[in-house]
Structure 1
């Protein structure tokens, strides 16, 4: 059997969506409710206090952007952490791995749905939530402007603000690019942690992965503080620090993604005594 066939991959993808449609629909509904609540939150206080006439969507753009980023981050990390949720029980594992497709096709199907699909769905839910909010505001005779242009404007203003700060300290273009690349790779490495956590735990992977990250953060912070106190806080320049962070984040992303695929292939053979026991 070929490792990858586009027609077989499409069949696995369609089968996956059909078999797990209840979970995906519940995720969509939960994400939509969270997005709607996030958009209504900043203006709810004004309505409650009787100042509905003073509602200005543009003035609340920064608050709306902040709530959107929080909800989007929670939604996408939860989606990634549930990548291998469908393999929690012995019966589910047998049924899934009996599908006439290669392990690579099955793995990429899960990645496309939960990682790529989760990120794109989060953006789509924000747009749908904006339409629902405008409908509610129309009924309540409140401003029905879409928040999307104002949020995008707020993003560009925030980017210009930080660009101005970076320019003021006279960093080179290379250093600024390093900062941007470092941020992107840091986020990818964080998502790869949830992907690996899904392959290791599968059940309640979101909670257990966050717990591991908090423990790692506590130990790592303590180690850095103790090391800094011992050798002094004379760290290398910003460029060297950014490059080191880029290499570390890229390594974590690649290694954790590879490990998640390796564990995925061995899921039916993994002895659960060293990890959390799944329901049989």
Structure 2
């Protein structure tokens, strides 16, 4: 079993789904109720001082953008968290599939399940809040928050009013950045056995802080748009090309390291990591 086989990959993925389905369902139900109750409480508190519907929706929309992003990356970081116990870890490692097929099955499951869980819990919870407020308080049936969230998560750089070159570079930067972020948290979730999201996020924040400091003291522009005599001028700075190349190269490096660490998985590991660096 040296070559990749889609059927073996599918069976490994089904195993991941069957083992994690119950806990995933419980988390989704719990988050759905949390979203509904949270929206009800926040809306009630905000409307006592600011009765405008659009203002309240905007505040909730901004909060749930962060909610979805954090939830998805937590899901990516927890790609092997259900394999912490020895019997389940042993069953996974003994699946009739190659290391690559098992690694891809775990990665795909963690990514898709986290994405679906966060979006589904938010949309259903938001709908429950709308139904409850409409039935008991007479609010509008069209006071959903998720259209505002979609609008906030839309990247302006790929909008049609920009030039083609600007949009293409914006799209390349966006895609490479998202892939790198996914690879970074995949590496953290593969390497660390505990607190993978916390440790990875601390490293990420430290890196962003260092980049902002460097950019502030040494210059370097990215995307810029300004108006001269009502004429829009726009351009892409050299820093954008550097970062896009960085994201592309280190996405590959992160995935390669993640797979290398996964191939070294053992039934018994130390308390903090899935890989023994001294073997």
Which category describes the TM-score, using the shorter chain as reference length?
A: 0.7 to 0.9
Secondary structure, counterpart of 2:266 in structure 1 = helix
- Bigger RCO of structures 1 and 2 (CA < 8 A, at least 6 apart): 1
Matches within 5 A, 1:14-53: 14-37=14-37, 39-40=39-40, 42-46=42-46, 49=48
Alignment partner for residue 242 of structure 1, among 228, 240, 243? 240
**Aligned partners of 2:201, 2:153: CA distance in 1, in Å?**
28
- Aligned position for 2:106: 110
8 Å contact 2:157–2:170 — kept in the other structure? Answer: no
Match status 1:93 vs 2:93:
no
Measured after TM superposition, the shift of residue 72 of structure 1 is 0.3
Higher strand proportion: 2
- The secondary structure found in structure 1 opposite 2:109 is helix
The worse-fitting range, judged by mean Cα deviation, of 254-263 and 68-77 is: 254-263
Q: How far apart are the structure 1 equivalents of 2:59 and 2:186?
A: 30
Deviation of residue 111 (structure 1)? 1.7
- The answer to whether structure 1 residue 4 and structure 2 residue 4 are counterparts is yes
Q: 1:138: how far off?
A: 3.4
Contact 1:42 1:63 (8 Å CA) reproduced: no
State the aligned residue count: 264
Offset, 1:250:
1.7
2:232 aligned partner: none
Q: Give the one of 159, 170, 181 matched to 1:179.
A: 170
The superposition leaves residues 43-90 of structure 1 with CA deviations (integer Å, 9 ceiling, x where unpaired) of 22155x398xx563x554422321221110111011001011133344
Normalization by structure 2: what TM-score? Answer: 0.76
User: How far did residue 33 of structure 1 move?
Assistant: 3.7
Give the equivalent residue in structure 2 for 1:152.
147
8 Å CA contact retained: 2:185, 2:197:
yes
Superposition RMSD on alpha carbons, in Å?
A: 3.6
Task: Verify the 8 A CA contact 1:199 1:260 in the aligned structure 2.
Answer: yes
CA apart distance, 1:205:
1.0
Q: Which residue in the other structure is 2:254 paired with?
A: 256
Matched-pair contact (CA < 8 Å) for 1:12–1:109: yes
